[in-house]
């Protein structure tokens, strides 16, 4: 080989080695980093507040980066640039990457209910720690129910009976923010679970993961309670029948979260299906006429599933700052950290050692601590974009409403 060519190769290899050394050295010297993957403003604000409180205890605060537009979770777990911690809503995407996360330490895993930890497991191995739960609930107007001599709904049958009775007094007694993607998707998931339990829900999530268009899975047979089959179409048709029966406002599919909160502040809906965090966005004095319960339509059946968005955190495999990450996770699961997250997010604390601030927080954690299934939402559990799922569900419901 000519001397000149050998020299070029040697210099090229040296340059590559030097560049690699710089990259890895920079990665090692960069600040302690927490990446918030596709989290909402409320969750991000809660994490920032909790991490600021952590720094006041002498802990090293992380640099928090919002990765809403990241191509994938896998891209964040690859190479020397991976963060020290990730905060995310767990589901099919994170479960498929379980091997790329560092398993939580037993001392921290023991702070949360085992079934809740199992919801963040894959292949018998936990890959993340839950920090907060935001369950789907049903808020009911006490004066309206007293005037109609009704008991608060506890299952699908009593909800339908209450809607029918209230609709005879005033149209559209059940308010659902149909334009709010998480609310609509969670409600469809509950309707499906009420028909076929966790088995039907899991089967649909798997089908959606493989479908380009969510409506491709519309008529697929899913296991139903008591034998036979059900389908996504059956769950959507049930929701469409609520509108035809006058239980939902005619324009409910155009109502966003802010619309539902505005009606709630005015004390107008007799019933409101929403997430706990949405109701807590209104001050207590304004909603003092409202009671609430978990929206679990399969109540009374074996292990009725709970619908709840989960905020979780995990470190990547072979972390560079394992000790710092563990200290921060310990604070986030402490009474002070859990209190900040629950108050700021309007959610329920995940740690068993932290007192629940109200009955809904207590009930959601108790159910999460039982053997029941936790539905993270068809979007999270199928790996599909929630906006895509919701838009296709709305398209079907709008067409069903014209029939």
pLDDT single digits (tens) 168-213: 999 999 999 999 999 999 999 999 999 998 889 999 999 999 999 9
Nearest to 371 by CA among 292, 302, 316, 307: 302
**pLDDT at 291 > cutoff 80:** yes
| Residue where the block lists tokens 């309670």 | 225
Token code pair at residue 120: 């963040």
Q: Where in the chain is the domain with CATH 3.40.190.10?
A: 8-134+308-374, 135-307+381-402
What pLDDT score does 384 carry? Answer: 86
- 210 three-state secondary structure: helix
- DSSP class per residue in 75-89: HHTSSTT--SEEEE-
**pLDDT at 23 > cutoff 80:** no
Task: Please report which confidence band the pLDDT of residue 366 belongs to, taking 50, 70 and 90 as the band edges.
Answer: confident
Query: Dihedral of the CA atoms 120, 122, 127, 132 (nearest 10)?
Result: -10
For residues 298-332, b (16+ Cβ closer than 10 Å) or e, as one string? bbebeebbbbbbbbbbbbbeebbbeebbbbbbbbb
C-alpha 1/C-alpha 332 separation (Å) is: 61
Mean pLDDT, the chain, integer: 87
Task: Please report which confidence band the pLDDT of residue 18 belongs to, taking 50, 70 and 90 as the band edges.
Answer: very low
Element (H, E) at 230: strand 229-230
The whole-number average pLDDT for the span 1-8 is 58
Task: Please report which confidence band the pLDDT of residue 5 belongs to, taking 50, 70 and 90 as the band edges.
Answer: low
**pLDDT at 26 > cutoff 60:** no
**pLDDT at 300 > cutoff 90:** no
Cα torsion 338, 339, 343, 344: sign: negative
Which residues, in sequence order, are bridge partners of residue 275? 136
What pLDDT score does 22 carry? Answer: 39
Element (H, E) at 272: strand 271-275
| Residue where the block lists tokens 């072979």 | 318
Q: Is pLDDT larger for residue 359 or for residue 6?
A: 359
Least confident interval from 25-29, 113-117, 381-385? 25-29
C-alpha 100/C-alpha 78 separation (Å) is: 9
Q: Is pLDDT larger for residue 227 or for residue 146?
A: 146
Question: In whole angstroms, how far apart are CA 5 and each of 8, 11, 13, 15, 76?
Answer: 5, 10, 12, 15, 38
What pLDDT score does 24 carry? Answer: 43
Residue range 8-134+308-374 forms a domain whose CATH class is alpha beta
**pLDDT at 220 > cutoff 80:** yes
CATH placement of domain 135-307+381-402: 3.40.190.10
């Amino acid at each position: 080989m000519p001397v000149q060519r050998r020299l070029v190769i040697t210099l090229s290899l040296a340059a590559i080695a030097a560049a690699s050394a710089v990259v890895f050295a920079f990665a090692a010297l960069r600040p302690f980093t927490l990446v918030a993957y596709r989290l909402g403003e409320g969750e991000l604000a809660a994490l920032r507040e909790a991490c600021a409180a952590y720094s006041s205890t002498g802990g090293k605060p992380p640099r928090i980066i919002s990765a809403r537009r990241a191509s994938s979770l896998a891209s964040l777990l690859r190479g020397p640039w991976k963060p020290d911690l990730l905060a995310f809503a767990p589901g099919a995407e994170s479960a498929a990457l379980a091997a790329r996360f560092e398993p939580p330490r037993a001392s921290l895993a023991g702070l949360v209910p085992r079934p809740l930890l199992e919801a963040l497991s894959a292949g018998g191995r936990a890959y993340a720690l839950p920090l907060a739960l935001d369950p789907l609930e049903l808020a009911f107007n006490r004066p309206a129910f007293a005037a109609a001599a009704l008991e608060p709904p506890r299952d699908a049958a009593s909800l339908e009976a209450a809607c029918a009775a209230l609709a005879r007094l005033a149209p559209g007694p059940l308010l659902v923010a149909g334009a709010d993607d998480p609310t609509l998707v969670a409600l469809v998931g509950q309707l499906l679970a009420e028909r076929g339990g966790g088995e039907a829900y899991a089967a649909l999530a798997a089908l959606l993961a493989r479908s380009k268009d969510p409506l491709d899975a519309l008529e697929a047979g899913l296991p139903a309670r008591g034998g036979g089959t059900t389908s996504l179409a059956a769950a959507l048709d049930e929701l469409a029948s609520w509108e035809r029966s006058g239980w939902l406002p005619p324009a409910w599919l155009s109502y966003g979260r802010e619309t539902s909160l505005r009606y709630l502040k005015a004390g107008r809906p007799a019933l409101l299906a929403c997430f706990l965090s949405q109701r807590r966005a209104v001050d207590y004095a304004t909603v003092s006429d409202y009671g609430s319960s978990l929206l679990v339509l399969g109540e009374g059946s074996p292990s009725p599933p709970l619908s709840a968005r989960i905020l979780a955190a995990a470190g990547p495999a072979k972390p560079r700052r394992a000790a710092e990450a563990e200290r921060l996770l310990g604070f986030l699961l402490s009474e002070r950290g859990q209190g900040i997250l629950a108050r700021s997010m309007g959610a329920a604390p995940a740690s068993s050692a932290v007192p629940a601030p109200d009955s809904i927080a207590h009930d959601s954690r108790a159910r999460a601590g039982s053997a029941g299934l936790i539905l993270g939402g068809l979007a999270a559990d199928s790996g599909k974009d929630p906006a895509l799922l919701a838009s296709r569900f709305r398209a079907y419901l709008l067409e069903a409403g014209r029939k």
